[in-house]
Structure 1
Amino acid sequence: MKIQLAIISDIHANIVALDEVLADIKKSGATQIYCLGDLVDFAPWGNEVIDRIQEKNIPCLLGNHDQRIAFDEPIIPLPHHDAVETANREIAINLSKKEISSSHKKWLSTLPYNLELTFQVGDRFRKILLVHASLHSNDEYVHESTPKGDLLVDLHRRGIDVLVMGHTHQAYVQRAEEVLFVNCGSVGRSKEKDKKASYVLVTLTEEGIDTTIVKVDYPVEEVAEAIYHSNIPDFYGDFLRAKDK
């Protein structure tokens, strides 16, 4: 017996990438899909992405970008952004605040910050914790190089086997003290060199837990052109087209 989950994150209003990923998941045989949030900002289809997640009845967390739009929170500059990205980010987020429908903002405001799943596979129980960024904050970056000691204390206390995250837009799988740390990367705004959409498959069996990061091609140029023909700063189209950053 096995249970296979597909987990996606960080769509960032890129409906083209999302539809390609959902089609790939359908072929994978996964029986359940979960989303870790950040549905909005940086591409032209924020409302359409929310519609698609709702249509597919995909359980979804509240990402930090969703949180900012849902509750009209201020835009705080990030220390790792230069002046150019900071200015373009403010324009793009303010555009989302204006264009995301009131009904979608209301729906976003109801989403949970995390989701703990417990599955029985044969005689074994497997526990998976889904978060957008980390256990402690919706804005914390947990990279592969980040020390895991503080997180492990909480994960051991809760009996978690797998922690699945997004937020960094960089996928990885790492084992620390029998806990799997999994970042499923980004569907719509990858920060990896290939700029492919990514998601993760988690397969649960009595024997163990297997994780696979899946990369999906999509027409990046089409999305970049749509950005250039919208009110979103060209910065975000240029970012998608750049293969080296």
Structure 2
Amino acid sequence: MRIALFSDIHANLPALEAFFNDVESRDTDAIYCLGDLVGYNIWPNEVIDQIRKRGIPAIAGNYDFGIGRSSDDCGCAYKTDDEKENGKVSIAYTNEIIKDGQRAYLRALPAHIRLDFQGHDRPLSVLLVHGSPRRVNEYLFEDRDENSMLRIMEQAGTDVMLFGHTHKPYHRILHCPQEDGTVQFRHAVNIGSVGKPKDGDPRGGYVILHMNADASISVKESITVEFIRFEYNIEKAAKAIEDSILPDAYAESLRRGK
């Protein structure tokens, strides 16, 4: 089973179109979107339309949740006054240009998607969330304490957890020693961002989750993650921001991948 997962498009239509061109050239069995379709660029309606017309199952990101409810709060953890002011412009602009049908679509998106597979020795649970199972806007960074990450996954009843929100991709394999001396493995995967990367690489990113037919949490290698980066027309997306009322800082962020 090869499952493509993408997230955090943030109204960047050139990046989304390049993503579709890339993923459609690969052999995948399913595709899912982990949220934050809108915000920070000028194409929220077009991005929503592209995902809807393809029938791609999607969940709500924190930005989608806010815009879906006509809120002026995107649930973003801005750190500086400049970021807060820029954020106000972005969510106000998105609320202004979003169409009624697209807003209703965002409002109806589920909080998570659970996929249950017939594993080799027991059922295998794969959970798709935006931030975390606990909160749509919780940040699960790569340096999260292992016990904390395991506790989050155990409480959610999942063996493989995929998420976005931080825009920084990684795959952590968590070791779970058992009383009988064996070891089980849980997988926590941040799938990165299609339209607003923050890991220093401005290319769009997504993942393909590979699960063997006999996938098991007892066999580490039976579940693997392929991180994919693709080129897109960054200048087109950045220029669109600069030609709008959105802060120019968002254009520079696309250029730098920060």
Give the TM-score, by structure 2 length. Answer: 0.88
Q: Distance in 2 between matches of 1:121 and 1:77?
A: 36
Structure 2 CA distance for partners of 1:87 and 1:196, relative to 1, 3 Å: same
Structure-1 residue corresponding to 2:236: 222
Q: 1:146 aligns with which of 144, 152, 166?
A: 144
Structure-2 residue corresponding to 1:195: 202
Q: Distance in 1 between matches of 2:42 and 2:69?
A: 20
Q: Deviations over 1:213-239 (max 9, x none)?
A: 111111111111111112222121121
Consecutive unaligned residues in structure 1, runs of 5 or more = none
Q: 1:23 aligns with which of 12, 21, 26?
A: 21
Counterpart of 1:179, as a letter, is R
Q: Distance in 2 between matches of 1:27 and 1:78?
A: 34
**Percent identity over the alignment?**
34
Q: State whether structure 2 residue 253 is matched by structure 1 residue 239.
A: yes
Structure-2 residue corresponding to 1:34: 32
Per mean C-alpha deviation after superposition, the further-off stretch among 188-197 and 205-214 is 205-214
Q: Distance in 1 between matches of 2:59 and 2:51?
A: 11
Structure-2 residue corresponding to 1:182: 189
SS class of match (1:27)? coil
Deviation at 1:120, TM superposition (A): 3.1
Structure 2 CA distance for partners of 1:236 and 1:137, relative to 1, 3 Å: same
Deviation at 1:149, TM superposition (A): 2.5
Per mean C-alpha deviation after superposition, the further-off stretch among 166-175 and 234-243 is 234-243
SS class of match (1:24)? helix
- 1:27-176 equivalences under 5 Å are 27-75=25-73, 80-120=78-118, 125-156=123-154, 159-176=157-174
Q: Is the 8 A contact 1:13 1:46 kept in 2?
A: yes
Q: Distance in 2 between matches of 1:218 and 1:48?
A: 17
**4+ residue segments displaced more than 4 Å:** 76-80, 121-124
Q: Distance in 2 between matches of 1:10 and 1:62?
A: 10
Deviation at 1:109, TM superposition (A): 0.8
Per mean C-alpha deviation after superposition, the further-off stretch among 213-222 and 162-171 is 213-222
Deviation at 1:196, TM superposition (A): 1.1
Counterpart of 2:34, as a letter, is L
Deviation at 1:157, TM superposition (A): 5.6
Q: Deviations over 1:43-72 (max 9, x none)?
A: 111000000010111100010000110112
Q: Distance in 1 between matches of 2:194 and 2:92?
A: 22
Q: Distance in 2 between matches of 1:157 and 1:91?
A: 37
Q: Deviations over 1:124-156 (max 9, x none)?
A: 643210000001101110001012424423533
Q: Is the 8 A contact 1:175 1:181 kept in 2?
A: yes
SS class of match (1:108)? helix
SS class of match (2:108)? coil
Structure 2 CA distance for partners of 1:76 and 1:224, relative to 1, 3 Å: closer
Deviation at 1:242, TM superposition (A): 2.5
